[in-house]
Structure 1
Amino acid sequence: MKTIIPKTIKDQQVVVPGSKSISHRILICASLCTGISTIENLLESEDIKWTMNALTCFGAQIDRINEGRFRVIGFGGTLKPCEKEIYLGNSGTSMRLLAGIAALGTTEYVLTGDKRMCERPMVELLNALKRLGIHAISPNRQGTPPVRICGGNRQGGTVTLDCSKSSQYLSSLLMMGTFMAKGLDISLESLPVSSPYIDLTLDIMTKFKVEAHRIHPCLYQVPGQQSYSPGDFFVEPDLSNAGYFWALGAITGQMISVKNISQNSLQGDLKQVKILEQMGCTVKFQENEIGVCGSELTGIDVDMSDTPDAVPAIAVVAGFAKGRTRIHNIRHLREKECDRIDAVSSQLLKMGIMVKQGDDFMEITGGAPKGARIETFNDHRIAMAFSMPGLLIPGMEIENETCVEKSFPNYWEIFDAL
Structure 2
Amino acid sequence: MSAETWVAPTATGAFDATVRVPGSKSITNRAYVLATLASGPTTVRHPLDSRDARLMLGALDALGASWRATPDGVIVSPLTAGIGEVSVDLGNAGTVARFTPALAALGSRTVRFDGDEAIRRRPIAPLLSALRDLGADIDDDGRGAPPFTVRGSGGLPGGAVTVDSSASSQFLSALLLAGPAFDKGVTVRLTGGAPPSEPHVAMTLDLLRRFGAAPERDGTEFHVPPATLSCPEYVVEPDLSTAAPFLAAAALTESTVRVRDWPSTTTQPGDWLRELLRSLGARVSLDAEGLVVTGAGGFPGQDLDLHEVGELTPVVAALLCFADGPSRISGVAHLRGHETDRLAALATELSGLGARVAETSDGLRITPAPLHAGTFHTYDDHRLVMAGAVLGLRVPGVVVANPATVGKTFPGFVATWESMLG
TM-score (norm 1): 0.95
* 2:52 partner SS: helix
Offset, 1:126: 0.9
**CA–CA separation in structure 2 for the residues paired with 1:82 and 1:215:** 41
Does the alignment pair 1:108 with 2:113? no
Deviation at 1:199, TM superposition (A): 0.8
Q: Is the 8 A contact 2:52 2:408 kept in 1?
A: yes
- Report the CA distance shift for 1:159/1:279 in structure 2 as closer, same or farther (over 3 A): same
Provide the residue aligned with 1:282 in structure 2: 283
Partner residue, 1:212: 215
Aligned pairs for 1:144-163 within 5 A: 144-152=145-153, 154-163=156-165
Residue in 2 that maps onto 1:70: 74
Relative to 1, partners in 2 of residues 1:80 and 1:325: Cα closer, same or farther, differing over 3 Å?
farther
Contact kept, 8 Å, 2:14 with 2:254, in 1: the verdict is no
Scaled by the length of structure 2, what TM-score is found? Answer: 0.94
Contact 1:79 1:104 in 2 (8 A): no
* Distance in 2 between residues matched to 1:10 and 1:356, nearest whole Å: 33
- Supply the AA of the counterpart residue of 1:371: A
Alignment of 1:128-277 (within 5 A): 128-139=130-141, 141-152=142-153, 154-189=156-191, 190-216=193-219, 218-224=220-226, 226-277=227-278
What is the Cα deviation at residue 285 of structure 1? 2.2
Q: Could you list the per-position Cα deviations for residues 17-75 of structure 1 after superposition, in whole angstroms to 9, with x for gaps in the alignment?
A: 11100110111111212222212111110011110001011111111122x42111222
Distance 1:79 1:274, change over 3 A: farther
Counterpart AA for 1:60? A
> What CA distance in whole angstroms lies between the structure 2 residues aligned with 1:210 and 1:334?
33
Structure 1 unaligned spans of 5+: none
SS in structure 2 at match of 1:171: helix
Please show how residues 52-71 of structure 1 align to structure 2 within 5 Å.
52-66=57-71, 68-71=72-75
C-alpha change, 1:199 and 1:81, in structure 2 (3 Å) is farther
Deviation at 1:288, TM superposition (A): 4.3
- Separation in 2, partners of 1:369, 1:249: 19
| Counterpart for residue 86 of structure 2 | 84
Cα distance change on mapping 1:155 and 1:357 into 2, 3 Å:
same
Higher alpha-carbon deviation: 56-65 or 15-24: 56-65
Aligned residues: 412
Q: Report the equivalent of 2:6.
A: 2
Point out the more displaced range, 94-103 or 2-11.
2-11
Determine if contact 1:125/1:169 at 8 Å carries over to the other structure: yes
Matched residue, 1:292: 293
Runs of 4+ in 1 over 4 A off after TM superposition: none
SS of the residue corresponding to residue 144 of structure 2 reads: coil
SS state at 2:222 partner: strand
Aligned to 2:22, the other structure's residue is in SS state: coil
Question: 1:124 deviation in Å?
Answer: 0.5
| Structure 2: gaps spanning 5 or more residues | none
Q: Does 160-169 or 176-185 show the bigger shift?
A: 176-185
Root-mean-square deviation (CA, aligned residues, Å) is 1.5
Identity of aligned residues (%): 32
